[in-house]
Every structure is written in structure tokens, then in C-alpha cells.
Homo-oligomer: A and B are copies of this chain.
Amino acid sequence: MTNRQITVAELPKGALKPEHFTLSEAEMPTPGAGEVLLRVILMSIDAANRSWLQGATYRAAVRQGDAMPTYAICEVVESKSDRLETGDIVASEATWSDYITAPAHKVQKMPKVSPLSHLISLYGIAGKTAYHGLMSIGQPEPGQTVLVSAAAGSVGGFVGQIAKALGCRVVGIAGGPEKCAWVKQTLGFHECIDYRADGLFKAIRAACPEGVDIYFDNVGGEILETALNLMNERGRVVCCGAISQYQSTAPTGPRNLPGAVVVKRLRMEGFIVTDFVAEDAKAVRALQALTDAGHITVTEDIVEGLENAPHALIGLLNGDNKGKRMVRVSADPS
């Protein structure tokens, strides 16, 4: 058995490129006492991965030479702990690798849903981020208008579908006419606006005739600035990400901050999915119920092969994906 691993060859300044990563053969890791050996099945590819290369965030900075961290669904292939058995499916902090070891108490045993990819999309970071952010921070009410950037992305797509199921008017923002059509037709958003076209302000205003009550922000930058100008009083801005800024060497701040927040008494609040871990079980039940009732279409964008992880992340940052992007490292157990 061999193990492969992708490390960070050089920390990026500006746009992320393939040469920032190196694929190499690595030692097959050996689990110590209390640890498990894990076969990586699926790795979640997220815009946040890019931010980890910018310095310390909610986690320690990734440094040159480090294996690229990720969140993964894995199978236990060897256990030196009472907590887990060979064949168990777990979610774990991992690295871009074929195999990893982890302390058994730090991994989470998962139900064997089929396909396992739903543990990364609907029941994973994407679905839970969408649910917790929208419900706990956005606090939608029927009849309100919810604006969602990166609407064709994994989180944005779930946000819009959940909000629509709750009786909100749902308007997406995505890049290009083809993606916008997909967001409306496949995900059922009421409207979707192409941010690459001219006249973003007017387009949002036309799509949100009663203003914006909740803006779910995945991008920051100019789109955030424009959305702030269209928020209703007492609106909520769910700060989920700032993908427009991660690749920038000279980030720009919304010029209407904090002015718009003061004048319209907005609430802007950031979060990460693990802040709401105590409510995960509730979120999973709700996501399952909404999916069973036909309100949520799960869309996944699975890139095959560990070696393609750099391209998968670079493409995500360029907006290539529709639905939750992940990398398949090995097959689901049969």
C-alpha cells in the first residue's frame, strides 16, 4: 500500500496556481494507541481552504511544506481505539492524502448514508453552514426577501432552497447567464442576477422590489457594498465568506460601512459551521425533511482523483463549480 500526499510548495500571493502545490509519495502512516488509520474517500473543497493560506484564521495558518488541510469523509481501515471499528465511516479533519491517521476521539462516526457524498453536501459543511447561517443569523420570516451571493455554489444553493421553502422571496447572484439560468431552473430561485453584467444595483433593485431583508454574503467586496445599499431597515447580513477578497492583494472595503449599518440599523454577523455544533442534529433533521418533501435538490460537483485537488480548488475560486464541489480520493465501500 502506498500513500500520496499534496503539500503546499509555496504560499500564494494573489491568485492560487497549480505550482503552489506538490504531489508526492509519503510514508504510509501508522496509527498509535488511541488512533485510527483512515482511508480518505471524499474531500470537501471550499473557498475557506484558500483563506487558510492567508494566515491564521479560526485555525492556525498553513505554512509552506505542510500537507494541505481539508475536511474529509473516510473509512476506518485499522483501529487502535475502543471507540471505532474497521469499516466505520467517519468525518475528520484530514489532509489532501490517500491515508491519514487521527486520534479516534477527534473524528466523528457518521451514518452510512448512500451516497456518502451527501455527508459532505446536504449533511456536511455546505448544508449545515447554509442552515445554521440562514436560520440562526438571518432569521427569515415568510414574505421576506433573501438575497444570496455565490448562489450556484454549495452553500448558496442550499440557502436559497431552504429560504424558499420557508416562504421567502429568494434572489440569487451568480457569474454568467448559464449559471443564472441553472440557479433558477434547477434550484428554483425566483430570480438570479449575473454579477458580471452591467447594472448590478439596478438589477438587484428590480429583483427585490420590497428591498432586501437578509443578505447571505459569500463574497464580500463590491457585491456586499451594493447589497448594503439595498437592505431594508433592521436587515441581517450573514457573513459567511469573502471569496472575492481571498485572491486579492489589495482588498477593498465596502465604502458604505459602517454608515449603512448605523443608518439602517443592520446586523452583520460572521460564523463558522462549528459554532453551532450543538444544533447540528436539528439541522440534519430539518435538511432531511426538506429534501424528502422535495424542497431541496442536492447538487454535487465531484472531481475524481486526489491528484486533481489543486485544480478543483483553483476552479472553485474561479467560480467553475455548480453545487457542492468535492474530490473523490477512493470509492465508497460497497
Do B265 and A268 touch (CB < 8 A)?
no
User: Which residues of chain A (172-215) have a CB below 8 Å from chain B?
Assistant: none
The proximity string for A residues 258-280 relative to B, scoring 1 for CB distances below 8 Å and 0 otherwise, is 11111111111111100100000
Residues of chain B lying within 8 A (CB to CB) of residue A108: none
Q: Which residue of B lies closest to A245 (CB)?
A: B259
A269 engages B259 (CB within 8 Å): no
Size of chain A's interface in residues, with CB distance under 8 A? 37
Task: Give me the interface of A with B, judged by CB distance under 8 Å.
Answer: 51, 57-58, 217, 220, 224-225, 233, 237, 239-242, 245, 251-272, 275
Cβ contacts A to B, 6 pairs, < 8 Å: A57-B263, A240-B262, A251-B256, A253-B255, A262-B270, A264-B270
Q: Are A261 and B267 in contact (CB under 8 A)?
A: no
* A258-B270, A266-B270 known; A225-B240 Cβ under 8 A: no
A97 to chain B, nearest CB (A): 26
Copies of this chain in its oligomeric complex: 2
Q: Is B266 a contact of A261 with CB atoms below 8 Å?
A: no
Please tell me if the beta carbons of B259 and A265 are within 8 angstroms of each other in the complex.
Answer: no
- The answer to whether A220 and B259 have CB atoms under 8 Å apart is yes
Please name the residue on chain B nearest to A246 by beta carbon: B259
Q: In the complex, which residue of chain B has the Cβ closest to the Cβ of A221?
A: B258
The contact of A257 among B57, B257, B269, B272, by CB within 8 Å, is B257
Closest to A237 in B: B258
Name the 6 nearest CB pairs between A and B, nearest first. Answer: A253-B253, A261-B270, A262-B270, A268-B268, A267-B269, A239-B261
